[in-house]
Structure formats: C-alpha cells, structure tokens
Amino acid sequence: MSFLSDLRTFIIIFQVIIAIIGSFYFYKYKNTFLKYFLIVLWYIAINDLLGFILKNNKYEVAILYNVYYIIVFNYLMFLFRNYVSKKLHKRLILIFIYIYTFSFLINAFFENYLIEYSRAPYILGSCFLVTSIVFYYIDILNSEKVLNVKKNLLFWISTGVLIYYCGNIPYKIVRTYAKQLTDVSIEFLVLCILTIIMNLCFIIGFIWSDSKQQY
C-alpha cells in the first residue's frame, strides 16, 4: 500500500508540473480555443490535490470527482467540436454533450453523488469522447493538416486522451457490470500508468508544437 500511496503522490505532483509547463508555453496557443485547456489543467491539478488531502483526512471525495467528470468531459467534447469541420460531426458531438449531461442528471436519482461515483454516465461520456476524437482524426486525414500534425498541440492532447480512455473504459465496464475486478490496486496502477502516458503526450505537445500550426 505504501507504493500505491507514493505513486498517488507522484501523480498529483506530476499534474501540477504539467499545469506549470502548460502555463510556460501558453504563448503558443493563447489566441486559440485551446487557451481554456490551461484552465482545465490547473483545475485537474487542484481537484486532485484537494481530493488527496480530504481523503487522507477521512472525508468523502466522490462529489469532487463527479463534478470533475461533467466539467472535463463536456469541455473536451466542446474542444473537439470546435476543431472538426464537418457539420455532421459537429452536430453529433453536440448531441453527445446533451445525452451525456442528461444521463448524468438522470443518474443522480439512482446514485448519491455525494458518496458514490457516477458509473454509467462515465462510461457513456468516455465513449462519446473517444468518438469525438475519431471525428477529429478523420478531419485531419482528409485535409492538408495531416502534413504538420506533429506540430499541432491538439493532436498530442487528443492522442493522450485517447490512450487514457481507451485503456480506462474496459476497467470501468468490468467494475460496473461484471464485478470481476476484485483487486482495486490493479485498476489503480493501470490508471496511474495511463495518466502518466497521457500527460507525457501533453508535455510533448507543449514543447514540440508550433504556434503557427494551432489550427
């Protein structure tokens, strides 16, 4: 358990470092819709830090992460909606946002968000977010943007987020419906690894991206 606790501490510190790096390279994307991504990064870092402190003091933290889910999922889907060009994809992502938000509100009648983490809405939001990223990739592949994609910050953000949720969704489904994952430490370790990979993608994007390629 000491190793998992140390890993959790490392992840929180890492989240703060990511937010600092994002702030340092803010000049690259300050004139784009991505400027709000920095606010989200700091929100994630502060939320995780607060959750860690409260949990260590035996307080319930479910409400913190339930609010976190709806803010982050909706922001990321709005982000990709802003960057896809096909009207059909824009409409579908908007529908995703409405359905996810509605499911989150309806689910509140079945789960107490003060003490329980939202499950079905989380899986639904994750699937919608992954689909939104696929729409973004389709848009890139069908345009000249693909020529400079490695210099684009959103590409690295999308890569990190895609890896995280594609790796996370199966565990959430098993824990929610199959109930076969008895060792929670395994899920925690996998999520930590996915979080590190995702944030490394963010770092690459901040450093490697070109302000002229923030389409």
Cβ contact 121:159 at 8 Å: no
Mean pLDDT computed over every residue of the chain: 91
Has residue 111 got a pLDDT over 80?
yes
Amino acid letter, 132: S
Q: What is the pLDDT of residue 178?
A: 62
Lowest model confidence (mean pLDDT) among 3-17, 120-134, 148-162, 191-205: 3-17
Q: What is the pLDDT of residue 185?
A: 75
- 7-35 pLDDT per residue, tens: 889 999 999 999 999 999 999 999 888 99
Q: What is the pLDDT of residue 173?
A: 83
Q: What percent of the chain has pLDDT over 90?
A: 73
- Round to whole Å and give the CA distance between 148 and 209: 10
Q: What is the pLDDT of residue 214?
A: 56
What is the pTM assigned to this prediction? Answer: 0.92
Q: What is the pLDDT of residue 77?
A: 98
Q: What is the pLDDT of residue 94?
A: 98
- 53-109 pLDDT per residue, tens: 999 888 999 999 999 999 999 999 999 999 999 999 999 999 999 999 999 999 999
Q: What is the pLDDT of residue 128?
A: 98
Backbone angles phi, psi at 73, to 5 degrees: -60, -45
- 152-186 pLDDT per residue, tens: 999 999 999 999 999 999 888 877 666 555 566 77
- 178-189 pLDDT per residue, tens: 655 556 677 788
Average pLDDT over residues 192-215: 88
Q: What is the pLDDT of residue 180?
A: 55
Q: Which of 36, 104, 21, 99 is closest to 68 using CA atoms?
A: 104
Contacts from 191-196 at CB under 8 Å and sequence distance 24+? 192/7, 192/8, 192/11, 194/163, 194/164, 194/167, 194/168, 195/11, 195/14, 195/164, 196/11, 196/14
Average pLDDT over residues 134-147: 89
Q: What are the DSSP E strand ranges found in the chain?
A: none
Tokens found for residue 18: 């990511």
